[in-house]
Amino acid sequence: MKWIFFHKLGSPKWFFDISGKFLPWFIVIGISLLVIGSIWGLIFAPKDYQQGDSFRIIYLHVPAAILAQSCYLMMAASALVSLVWKMKLADVFITSAAPLGALFTFLALFTGAVWGKPTWGTWWVWDARLTAMLVLLFLYFGVISLQTAIEDTLLSSKATAILVLVGVVNIPIIKYSVEWWNTLHQPATFKLTEKPAMVPEMWIPLLVMVIGIYCFFSAVVMLRMRNEILMRERKTKWVQRLVSG
Amino acid sequence: MNFESFDSFINMGGHGLYVWLSYGVGLCVFVIALTAPLMKRKSIIKELSQLQRRKQRSLSSNENSTGIT
């Protein structure tokens, strides 16, 4: 039973059909949560006693940074699947997720810089957390360019999978950079094992934003995967029927 | 509600520039992320259906030519 599911999951057509059903929900829920979270964070959350209103950037910065890293972890898991089981869909995921990962890493870096200016007095420091995040951005660029540089699909999926797996060492470095080194960057806002240090009025909208950004990412990654599948499977009957119909 | 007036909301306690710059760029990122694949989908469908039509035309013209001779 389990293995049937696994093989189905590897079938592009099956994914195309099932993702079409889930997509509208993810788009609607994702965008609603993002709008609710932003309004909540911008207007209703109390201001920080030290940073004043500039702390409201957290509602964009933290979700973007969390997503940027977990997107890479998902790509690494897919890379493993792609190398071991040669599953087409895993490679489709890596291709579709990498530009999004780069986009959200950029957003995390940008909002971090803009937040740093009023808080630390500088846009940028070569601090462990920030540098590791910049490395993540370049890893995403590397994955994107490697995939576009190699024409042969099989070869390029293998090469990118290996690059993604090698680059995964950067993720624990980002995560623990604030603990291993003395940095300007503050420690994690959310920890699974502890209650957040903020008051609920502050962290609930943040949680809404984090869930919202995951739903949004799921929707957009599905959209991109569906495009990628259409292109890769363009010679199959089901795509030709879909295109003509 | 955390702000007394609309002006104080825009001003963000003097940090308005930073907050709104972040959220402005953030909005752009989300809009780009969503619209890019939607537009790509349209162009893919168009491209593939044109390709298909061209193929069918050449196929049917081949049949005609063999039918005549």
DSSP for A37-75, please give it. HHHIIIIISPPBTTTBGGGGGHHHHHHHHHHHHHHHHHH
- Taking only the tens place, the pLDDT of each residue in A149-170 is 988 888 999 999 999 999 999 9
pLDDT of residue B3: 82
What was the pLDDT predicted at A3? 65
Asked if pLDDT for residue B69 goes beyond 70, the answer is no
Of B23, B40, B49, Cβ closest to residue A227: B40
pLDDT at position A144 is: 95
pLDDT for the residue numbered A188: 77
Contacts of A103 in chain B (CB under 8 A): 29, 32-33
Q: Which residues contact B52 (CB under 8 A, 6 or more apart)?
A: A240, A243, A244
In the predicted structure, residue B67 carries a pLDDT above the cut 80: no
Please check whether residue A239 touches B, CB under 8 A: yes
Residues in A touching B32 (Cβ below 8 Å) = 103
Decide which of B3 and A170 is more confident: A170
The confidence score (pLDDT) of residue A119 equals: 86
Cβ separation of B37 and A64 shorter than 8 Å? Answer: no
The CA radius of gyration of chain B, in Å to the nearest whole number, is: 28
Residues of chain A with pLDDT below 70 are: 1-9, 192, 245
Specify the pLDDT at position B65: 59
Residues 6+ apart with CB under 8 A from B2: A43, A44, A45, A46, A47
Q: DSSP letter for B6, please.
A: H
Residue range B26-48, pLDDT digits in tens: 999 999 999 999 999 999 999 99
Residue of B28, B29, B51 to mutate when probing chain A, most A C-beta within 10 A = B29
